[in-house]
Amino acid sequence: MTPITSGLIGFVLLIVLMFARIPVGFVMALVGFLGFGLLTSWGASLNLIARDFFSVFSSYNLTVIPLFVLMGQVAFHAGISGRLFHAAHKFLGHLPGGLAVATIGACAAFSAICGSTSATAATMASVALPEMKKYRYDPALATGVVAAGGSLGILIPPSTIFIIYGIMTEQSIGKLFMAGVLPGILLTVFFILSILIWTRFNPDLCIAAPKASLQERIASLSGLIETFLLFVLVMGGLFIGFFTPTEAAGIGAFGTIVIATIGKHLTWPGFIRSLQETTRISCMVLVIVAGATVFGHFLAVTTIPAQIGQWVSGLPLPSFAIIGLIILVYFLLGCLMDSLAMIMLTIPVFYPVVTTLGYDPVWFGVVIVLVAEMGVITPPVGINVYVVAGVARDVPLQTIFRGSLNMMAALLLTAILLILFPQIALFLPGFMK
């Protein structure tokens, strides 16, 4: 059996086992171990899996993940997400579709201290959906907005996927974070415009909330101030080169705990739950990374990535057409599998192609994260939709999908602009040291 044939069989086995609902990290590790053993030796394969798992779980660079996860979990259990929505509600709730707009704004702000799409969706669903139900918002509008808004969690820094991409491709995590800021703001604006257009042509979808007084608006700003301070502390320090991403994560987590404690918003049980959730999520991510590392070494000995790179580079197509095909593949895969697993699986294959074509790796990272955002709200495996469905148990799954797909135009428009004007992503990183 040739190495390429072994690699193709490995891919098929990987997909079959993933659809069998076996955890993706274990699947990639198992297939990688078996494939590497068949192509080399079982002794070498045993050494490989032991070395890869140890190197991942002892990696200093990867400590940034649990620290940023802790930052988001403490913020959630301290009620920062609720205060963000409350502030947005007071300022925007009186507009047509105002609560939906407020939800997008709160999602964007919470994403700046969270870094996870599913966590952002789950958090804002529990906060925003009861309020929108109170004002008789159409279920498709309410749930679709939360699912789409949650996707901002992997674009607006700090993003777990940016961290993984940066480590895998040896790109600056700080530059990737900065590259996500302007596209994140742009996508937020397009989401808001989508809601305003949606409710303008169909005003029966919702009822406007009462207009809040100036005093009420000022009183609601505490959540925004907390988030702004944390974002400036973490991203500002990274931007001026005052500290590394790992140091930024540690300072962000510590700062969140201090702010929550001073404000008396964080209880001891809430802190314990934050630690428990951080441990669970971090272990899940690290197992996926370790499994993908093993599978990546198996792919390397099959020579498939190199062969694909040579084949694609030799196609009689312009470079923008090739990058378009790659983006299409990412979109289709995003509809079928978890975004983190997809990134881990495909980067060894497509990254060499992208660099060969001369595209900026930082720009490409932002593009694939944006495309991954589309995958989390599209059937059949739109993870954010299932997260929202777990909170809104009275809303049919197809209704949530219908609502989230109405927000797809904003994602497509942002992706098109990012492809046509790469400086949208590369402007801020250009100022970094």
* Segment 59-98, tens digit of pLDDT: 888 888 898 889 888 988 888 888 888 888 888 878 778 8
| Among 141-145, 177-181, 219-223, the least confident range | 219-223
pLDDT (average), residues 291-296: 86
Residue 196 pLDDT greater than 70, yes or no: yes
pLDDT at 355: 86
Residue 433 pLDDT greater than 70, yes or no: no
| Among 172-181, 210-219, 312-321, 356-365, the least confident range | 312-321
pLDDT at 272: 94
User: Please, are residues 70 and 274 in contact by the beta-carbon 8 Å criterion?
Assistant: yes
pLDDT at 47: 94
* Segment 303-346, tens digit of pLDDT: 877 777 677 767 788 888 888 888 888 888 777 777 777 787 78
Residue 385 pLDDT greater than 90, yes or no: no
User: Please, are residues 392 and 139 in contact by the beta-carbon 8 Å criterion?
Assistant: yes
pLDDT (average), residues 176-183: 93
| Among 116-125, 174-183, 401-410, the least confident range | 116-125
Residue 176 pLDDT greater than 90, yes or no: yes
Share of the chain above pLDDT 70, in %: 98
* Segment 224-245, tens digit of pLDDT: 788 888 888 888 888 888 888 8
* Segment 18-41, tens digit of pLDDT: 778 788 789 889 999 999 999 989
Residue 363 pLDDT greater than 90, yes or no: yes
Residue 368 pLDDT greater than 80, yes or no: yes
Domain layout of the chain by residue ranges: 3-8+22-431
pTM: 0.85
Question: What is the band of 133 on the pLDDT scale with cuts at 50, 70, 90?
Answer: confident
pLDDT at 365: 93
pLDDT at 313: 67
* Segment 271-287, tens digit of pLDDT: 999 999 899 888 888 88
User: Please, are residues 277 and 119 in contact by the beta-carbon 8 Å criterion?
Assistant: no
- The average confidence (pLDDT) of the chain is 87
Using DSSP's 3-state secondary structure scheme, residue 343 falls into: helix
Residue 1 pLDDT greater than 80, yes or no: no
